[in-house]
Amino acid sequence: MTINVAVSGAAGRMGATVCRAVQAADDMALAGRADPELEVALEDVLGDADVVVDFTIPDQALRNARLCLEAGVHCVMGTTGANFSELEGVGEANLFVAPNFAIGAVLLMEASKRIARHMPECEIVELHHDHKLDAPSGTALRTAEQIRTAGGNVHEPIHSVRLPGLVAHEEVVFGGPGQTLSLRHNSIDRESFMPGVLLAVRRVGSLERSPTVGLEQLLES
Ligand SMILES: NC(=O)c1ccc[n+]([C@@H]2O[C@H](COP(=O)([O-])OP(=O)(O)OC[C@H]3O[C@@H](n4cnc5c(N)ncnc54)[C@H](O)[C@@H]3O)[C@@H](O)[C@H]2O)c1
């Protein structure tokens, strides 16, 4: 069965990459491209879509997710810098949110939780291209939340670096008596996010709760 996917933010860096990934997937069809730059509104593509993938801007993301859910269209949300908890129970469709769709970033978070049990003191440095609107990154906030839940002490502030030449990078540095341990993940190309985005498109319709947050929720342990 073909999944009809519309992309919100289709003219952007991530949106354009998602359009190409959807077109290359055997089980998906690109049902629409919404973006003010293309003069196409999200409302105009909802009728043809089973799933919307949103990579837009922080102050539009909540509105876009609500539009999808109220129209009965599942939503895969990649836009960071917004809180979607108020959308619990809205509409019949499901919302899946991931601050980071790269498997390496998810594995960094998982490893950090284990390390924090033994070396709780740590700092997070996140580094991104200089067009990123939110800081600290959604990935860094999620990493901090997970480390704290595991008993770690994430020092404030989280450090945010914005420079041309970077894509998306995160380093967690743990320190204990006489030793440090650093974990670093680098997304050097936006292709790194595509397997996670396509997995979420395939799974969003069968989620048990909405919103579901975090790619780790969709991965085998
Ligand atoms: N979750 C992840 O793995 C991940 C990875 C990379 C980036 N991101 C996030 O994705 C978002 C987009 O990043 P980007 O680098 O592609 O940004 P970008 O600026 O290149 O693209 C954003 C696009 O959204 C469009 N847009 C704005 N308002 C819109 C609306 N109401 N409806 C439809 N389109 C609209 C803009 O015109 C633009 O083309 C950011 O929040 C970024 O932090 C998430």
pLDDT tens sequence across 8-20:
999 999 999 999 9
3-state secondary structure of 66: helix
Q: Is the CB of 162 under 6 A from ligand 1?
A: no
pTM of the model: 0.94
Name the residue with the closest Cα to ligand 1, atom 41. Answer: 79
Q: In 71-189, which ranges are continuous DSSP H helix?
A: 103-116, 138-149
The two tokens of residue 164 are 């041309």
Q: Comparing C-alpha atoms, which of 39, 40, 85, 77 is closest to residue 60?
A: 77
The CB of 35 under 6 Å from ligand 1? The reply is: yes
* Secondary structure class of 168 (helix, strand, coil): strand
User: Residues for the chain: how many in total?
Assistant: 221
Give the closest residue to 5 by CA, choosing from 38, 51, 37, 36. 51
Q: What is the whole-number distance in angstroms between the Cα of residue 153 and the centre of ligand 1?
A: 31
Amino acid identity, position 33: R
What's the first-to-final CA gap in the chain, in angstroms?
Answer: 27
pLDDT tens per residue across span 169-212:
999 999 999 999 999 999 999 999 999 999 999 999 999 999 99
Cβ of residue 66 lying under 6 Å from some atom of ligand 1: no
